[in-house]
């Protein structure tokens, strides 16, 4: 039996390409680094400005405001979880992690939602975007850190960059799925009464697709949190760095305290975004029905 023996220097090609980008666009990536780090620093300053008990109260009250009486249990659970984070002296690290997750999630959604809408409106765009998203989702997460380190150096910025890339796909997919899943009879009714495509998108498709979009938001946040530990490997301060250092020192105490803090943040953010999604779902149907009725009345007049 004859074995095929040949090699393709694919890794060398990628290395050469990335290093060429770094050398050619060094100033650009320095500017991007400042832009990415600024909102992170601003959020961290905002979260650490008031005493920690103020944020505990805010996170306890917020579920009640979003979900009414059904949010009381979540509010109490959030307060207990945050008090646990305070008690194990991980509050500052938790606020750093929360700042990183929020910045990365917002950036990912700013990209994902428009791309998802575009893909829903164009089959050609969908065919191009789908394999790119498959690549982002199947590539091992730590691989993203290598080009991120070359582009931005050690610190929080490569962590944000890698987190955005890793958490982007579900936002695009769920937005496209939501827009495509809108009842076409409702859309046709809007067209029949003279609504422009932009108005149909804003007042019919987006409200009806909002539950799916919010599910995508939820998944983006959860994937961002799953990248926290990996981001800690490149110098991003926070709970991820604590877990990484505890692994290096085989420190079970710090590892479990930081790990439980990540779990608590994940549960709070998951329930909050889930509650917002449920609220949006109820409002979406009502808003779409009101829009259709209003257009019917206008046409009758």
Do residues 192 and 137 touch, judged by C-beta distance below 8 A?
no
Task: Based on the fold, state whether residues 167 and 186 are members of the same structural domain.
Answer: yes
Residues 107 and 183 in one domain: yes
**Is residue 128 in some structural domain?**
yes
Same domain? 81 vs 158: no
Give the number of domains in the chain: 2
- Residues 270, 189 within the same domain: yes
Q: Are residues 135 and 228 in the same domain?
A: yes
The conformation of residue 49, written as its DSSP 8-state character, comes to S
Residues 145 and 98 in one domain: yes
Least Cα distance to 105 among 282, 265, 281 occurs for 265
Percentage of residues of the chain with pLDDT beyond 90: 19
Summarize pLDDT for 68-114 with one digit per residue, the tens: 777 888 889 989 999 999 999 899 999 999 999 999 999 999 999 99
**Token pair of 277, please?**
């999604």
Same-domain pairing of 36 and 113: yes
Same-domain check for residues 126 and 253: yes
Sign of the alpha-carbon dihedral angle for 146, 110, 130, 18: negative
CATH code assigned at 220: 1.10.3720.10
Domain boundary among 33, 60, 87: 87
Q: Which two tokens stand for residue 62?
A: 């917020």
Based on the fold, state whether residues 178 and 120 are members of the same structural domain.
yes
Specify whether 102 is located in the same domain as 141: yes
Domain end (from 29, 62, 87): 87
Q: Tell me: the pLDDT tens digits for 130-169?
A: 998 888 888 777 777 777 887 887 788 888 888 888 888 9
Q: Can you tell me the distance from the alpha carbon of 174 to that of 202, in angstroms, rounded to the nearest whole number? A: 17
5 found inside a domain: no
| Domain span at 41 | 11-49+89-300
In 10 A of CB 287, how many CB atoms? 17
The C-alpha angle 273, 277, 282, rounded to 5 degrees, equals: 150
Tell me if the pTM is above 0.85: no
Q: What is the pLDDT along the chain (301 residues), one digit of tens a residue?
A: 566 666 777 778 878 888 888 788 888 888 888 888 899 999 999 999 989 999 999 988 888 887 777 788 888 998 999 999 999 989 999 999 999 999 999 999 999 999 999 999 888 988 999 998 888 888 777 777 777 887 887 788 888 888 888 888 999 999 999 988 888 888 888 788 777 888 888 888 888 888 888 888 888 988 888 887 777 877 778 888 888 888 888 888 888 888 899 889 988 888 887 766 555 555 555 555 554 455 454 544 4
171 and 213 assigned to the same domain: yes
Give, in order, the Cα–Cα distances in Å from 65 to each of 50, 58, 69. 21, 10, 9
- 75-83 long-range contacts (CB < 8 A, ≥24 apart) are 77/267, 77/268, 78/268, 78/271, 81/264, 81/267, 81/268, 82/52, 82/55, 82/56, 82/264, 82/268, 83/56
Q: Dump the DSSP string for 146-186.
A: HHHHHHH-SSHHHHHHHHHHHHHHHHHHHHHHHHHTS-HHH
Domain shared by 127 and 57, yes or no: no
């Amino acid at each position: 039996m004859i074995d095929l023996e040949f090699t393709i220097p694919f890794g060398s090609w990628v290395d050469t390409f990335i290093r060429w980008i770094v050398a050619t666009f060094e100033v650009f990536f320095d500017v991007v680094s400042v832009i990415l780090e600024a909102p992170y620093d601003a959020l961290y300053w905002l979260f650490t400005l008031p005493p920690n008990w103020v944020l505990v109260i805010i996170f306890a009250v917020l579920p009640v405001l979003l979900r009414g009486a059904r949010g009381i249990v979540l509010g109490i659970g959030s307060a207990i979880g945050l008090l646990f984070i305070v008690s194990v002296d991980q509050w500052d690290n938790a606020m750093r992690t929360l700042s990183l997750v929020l910045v990365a999630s917002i950036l990912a959604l700013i990209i994902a939602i428009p791309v998802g809408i575009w893909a829903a409106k164009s089959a050609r765009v969908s065919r191009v975007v789908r394999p790119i998203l498959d690549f982002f989702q199947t590539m091992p997460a730590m691989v993203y850190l290598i080009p991120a380190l070359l582009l931005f150096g050690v610190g929080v910025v490569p962590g944000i960059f890698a987190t955005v890339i890793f958490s982007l796909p579900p936002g695009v997919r769920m937005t496209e799925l939501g827009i495509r899943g809108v009842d076409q009879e409702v859309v046709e009714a809007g067209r029949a009464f003279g609504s422009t495509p932009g108005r149909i998108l804003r007042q019919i498709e987006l409200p009806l697709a909002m539950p799916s979009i919010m599910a995508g938001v939820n998944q983006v946040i959860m994937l961002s949190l799953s990248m926290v530990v990996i981001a800690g490997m490149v110098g991003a301060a926070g709970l991820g760095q604590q877990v990484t250092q505890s692994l290096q020192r085989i420190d079970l105490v710090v590892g479990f305290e930081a790990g439980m803090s990540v779990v608590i943040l994940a549960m709070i953010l998951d329930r909050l975004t889930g509650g917002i999604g449920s609220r949006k779902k109820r409002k979406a149907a009502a808003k779409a029905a009101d829009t259709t009725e209003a257009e019917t009345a206008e046409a009758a007049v």
